[in-house]
Amino acid sequence: MKKFLIAGNWKMNKTMAETAQFVEDLKAENPANPEDMALLVPFTDLVTVRDSLQGTGVKFGAENVHYEPSGAYTGEVSVPMLKEIGVDYCVIGHSERREYFNETDETVNLKLKALLENGITPILCVGESLEVREAAGEQTFVASQLVADFEGIPAVEAAKIVVAYEPIWAIGTGKTATPEQAEEMCAFIRGVIGGMYDNETANSVLILYGGSMKPGNAAELLEKPDINGGLIGGASLKASDFKAIADAAASLKC
């Protein structure tokens, strides 16, 4: 049976009170497969979301982390800090982190290793810009990200990583990625991982689509063979929309 993960990436949104209310709204929506859902929230919301989600089956995680366990890194949060809270997931290498905060493949690799060593599942983001896409360099670019990000990670650990493909070229540009384009790149990503390791490892990796998945297009995207879910931005901020996307995934498991 195909595995799914519908992960809501809240970015810099929602206070603790708003987080608690969101979870109450989500509970009222009664999603079909809560174990396939996760909320990825700002650091200040982690304890609130953990406590509010108790007994629901929905998992939770952070949006970033530092690779060092401690030190003079003002404003940063370490993996042991996240582990103490009990997070299930942590996003790393998001396009916004790469663009605005100088995240590199080297630091992504260090974060991947630190998270895996501590039993937290990384959600690794990769994807190409409009400039790269228009130059027909998207596969070369994404493959280079994957090779650098997975450097030194053994197959048994690589199989635990979730990869999210972000078509940066279709975010805020007025362009749209079709389900066929999304599947093409997700299949390519699986193939690259298979080449680095083996098919068993590649098939164990969940590959999410991070390009504006919404209730209206979720089913068409999720039915594609190499798309295991979505890294959901705006549509994850409203409980009914987030539930609708999760239910689209649940319907495909029947």
Q: Tell me the average pLDDT of the chain.
A: 96
| pLDDT score, position 254 | 60
Banded model confidence at residue 218, pLDDT cuts 50, 70, 90: very high
Banded model confidence at residue 177, pLDDT cuts 50, 70, 90: confident
Q: Rounded to whole angstroms, how far apart are CA atoms 105 and 188? A: 19
CB 4 within 8 A of CB 253: yes
Q: What's at 8, amino acid-wise?
A: G
Running DSSP on this structure, what letter comes out for residue 101?
S
CATH class of 5-240: alpha beta
**Catalytic residue, candidates 63, 128, 138, 166:** 166
**Catalytic residue, candidates 63, 66, 94, 183:** 94
Q: Rounded to whole angstroms, how far apart are CA atoms 191 and 203? A: 9
The domain limits of the chain are 5-240
Q: Write out pLDDT tens, residues 63-72.
A: 999 999 999 9
Q: State yes or no: is 68 an active-site residue.
A: no
Q: Region 4-11: what's the mean pLDDT?
A: 98
Q: Write out pLDDT tens, residues 61-96.
A: 999 999 999 999 999 999 999 999 999 999 999 999
Banded model confidence at residue 125, pLDDT cuts 50, 70, 90: very high
Token output for 200: 């068993």
Rounded to 5°, the CA angle 118-158-252 comes to 105
| Reported pTM | 0.97
**Nearest partner of 38 among 29, 20, 24, 26, judged by Cα:** 26
Q: State yes or no: is 166 an active-site residue.
A: yes
